[in-house]
Structure 1
């Protein structure tokens, strides 16, 4: 088996940073009224700025595949061209269409010759799953290099016109036309952007990062879906897919909007996350004190102190000084967040040879977790 190194990291964040006060100008108001939940959610998540693939005139500037293509091109220079890529592995929870796959669309924009592609579906863990596919390909010798990406373009999913038909329908039923909190909640959480890693079987570059191991854990066998899109959650927890509804119900129920069961999220996301972390550290005989930098992808700073408390209670406490996050500046970029976090750390000038970096990504869709350890070479 080959060793696998992250030799280059790139990110692409579209347009300019958007402040909290500008969000409804970009996404629109629901039923002509400012969201009551917005201030509560923003106060809890403590995100100050985020990025949207929407310009100041309201025009869409990039789709998801275009964002990803820009991140991939950020890896390329005179020494490594797009045509040198042997495998392109892309993860996202917000593909531009059902078919073709996200990676196929990114490859279409790259126009870099005949290569292998892989699309990892899911939510936040899709970016890590894309990374693992590339990691295993290089490790096994199937390819000498791979590019892995994580990206999201969720802003258009959150625009007010997505929900207008539902609100009109509620009015015809003489019900209060207020957007349910499980839909409104995510409008103030998510950001657009993309990140990319170049994986190679040699430690090239100024400061390569060796991938020591990657682990994944799913708790779907015991917990109902929490975050979902393209479906409606019934009272018994069953997800009824959009394809089983008449087409006139798709907009009336905002079936394609992203929704989150906030109660279920609070009950399980931290407990299962720390349980999976403990499993991974135990498997690899790694102590929390061995970790120099802990990069947790969390959707909201609301969970930060609670995560630390849960880690302490389960005996896997990582000191605050070793945490590294950039949520407040870039927002929650879902599958792209861990790429964008590591990019900032790698270019911060803080890293030194031998530093151990733990990447931790939860996915609330049906509670899955991805964990990886990388070492600075």
Structure 2
């Protein structure tokens, strides 16, 4: 690629990782019963589509999950960590207040010098991070980026609230995004509206060594559902319009894996058949910023998604944030 060649970005490799501890709905129901709370596999599956989730062990941090996913993505892309000149980690559950989880991951990868930073947009985080990396590659600030979504949401769940603790899990997904002569990421769009911050938040923080506020996740499920189904359709159509494409051009929709009903609703609004929607929420629950790259890697490794397929990635999360990316894989 010479200096006069238009610079684009494309996904060169994908990777993902789920911690070994798999917690089924029945496992969780038994745990909650000890607290006097009632739930069941049927109740959870009917409302969310989730059958299991993975929880990291106490000593395992977001950067540890990110490392596993990153190594898989690097291998898939046929490169090494030394080839990477940008690292972005999307997470709402960082290892520390600072430094960023991205710099901790950089150290664990054994490389140094390239920019590394976190993006905090909750469940939209991976779409945000991918868009930022694409922009930096297009401007020449990077040539090969490692973009990761990694979460340990089990650390911020309230296991006295059966409406939220059954929804989330831990995991990581990653892609290697590289400069290309041909467009890979075709169009993207990001949004946020802080007026809705109270419907999904973790309102605690640290001050003077003590926790102020409530450090556990709070969610108004009906309000989130209503807002999510509207903005996901709108942003998908807007990105298609930017790209000069139609919904019928989408080979696969990879939505944030939060709730099967939200995903199905979005697909219906776009007139996409169920076989065009990548669904992995049943096996890992809502892993926030990790869910889209987890689903992408699963579909790539199973052979369902192949080179040349057109993909729509979209996420919505606390903030309230949302966004979408259309790409030719």
Using structure 1 for the length normalisation, give the TM-score.
Answer: 0.77
Aligned partners of 2:120 and 2:152: how far apart in 1? 14
Match for residue 272 of structure 2 among 276, 295, 318? 318
1:314-353, aligned counterparts within 5 Å?
Answer: 316-353=270-307
In terms of fraction of residues, the more strand-rich structure is: 2
Shift of 1:209: 8.9
| 1:130 alignment partner in structure 2 | 129
Matched positions, count: 322
Q: Would you identify which runs of 4 or more consecutive aligned residues in structure 1 move more than 4 Å?
A: 242-248
Does the CA-based 8 Å contact 1:37-1:185 persist in structure 2?
no
Q: Rate the CA distance shift 1:354–1:109 in 2: closer, same or farther, 3 A.
A: closer
Q: Rate the CA distance shift 1:227–1:286 in 2: closer, same or farther, 3 A.
A: same
Shift of 1:16: 4.1
Match for residue 56 of structure 2 among 45, 53, 67? 53
The DSSP-based 3-state class of the residue aligned with 2:302 is coil
Shift of 1:245: 11
Q: Rate the CA distance shift 1:127–1:135 in 2: closer, same or farther, 3 A.
A: same
Shift of 1:224: 4.6
The DSSP-based 3-state class of the residue aligned with 1:225 is helix
Match for residue 68 of structure 1 among 66, 69, 75? 66
1:301 is the counterpart of 2:301: no
| 2:81 alignment partner in structure 1 | 82
The DSSP-based 3-state class of the residue aligned with 1:329 is helix
Does the CA-based 8 Å contact 1:298-1:362 persist in structure 2?
no
Shift of 1:100: 1.7
Aligned partners of 1:292 and 1:319: how far apart in 2? 10
1:33 is the counterpart of 2:35: yes
Match for residue 167 of structure 2 among 157, 170, 189? 189
Q: Which structure 2 residue ranges, 5 or more long, are not aligned?
A: 1-5
1:1-377, aligned counterparts within 5 Å?
Answer: 1-23=6-28, 28-29=31-32, 32-37=34-39, 40-54=43-57, 60-77=58-75, 79-158=78-157, 160=159, 179=160, 183-202=161-180, 210-221=184-195, 223-231=196-204, 242=205, 247=210, 250=212, 255-309=214-268, 311=269, 316-363=270-317, 365-376=318-329
Shift of 1:351: 3.7
The DSSP-based 3-state class of the residue aligned with 1:217 is strand
Q: Please give the per-residue CA displacement for 1:292-329, whole angstroms capped at 9, x wherever unaligned.
A: 111122411233444345x1xxxx32232322211112
Q: Please give the per-residue CA displacement for 1:159-214, whole angstroms capped at 9, x wherever unaligned.
A: 75xxxxxxxxxxxxxxxxxx4xxx442210111111111111148xxxx9922222
Aligned partners of 2:71 and 2:84: how far apart in 1? 11
Aligned partners of 2:81 and 2:209: how far apart in 1? 44
Q: Which structure 1 residue ranges, 5 or more long, are not aligned?
A: 55-59, 161-178, 232-241
Does the CA-based 8 Å contact 2:158-2:216 persist in structure 1?
no
Aligned partners of 1:140 and 1:209: how far apart in 2? 14
Shift of 1:243: 6.2
Shift of 1:114: 2.0
Worse overlay, 15-24 or 81-90: 15-24
Aligned partners of 2:108 and 2:324: how far apart in 1? 30
Shift of 1:343: 0.7
Does the CA-based 8 Å contact 1:38-1:185 persist in structure 2?
no
CA RMSD of aligned residues (A): 2.7
Aligned partners of 1:292 and 1:230: how far apart in 2? 39
Q: Please give the per-residue CA displacement for 1:216-247, whole angstroms capped at 9, x wherever unaligned.
A: 122335x453111134xxxxxxxxxx469995
Using structure 2 for the length normalisation, give the TM-score.
Answer: 0.87
Aligned partners of 1:108 and 1:34: how far apart in 2? 44
Does the CA-based 8 Å contact 1:38-1:188 persist in structure 2?
no
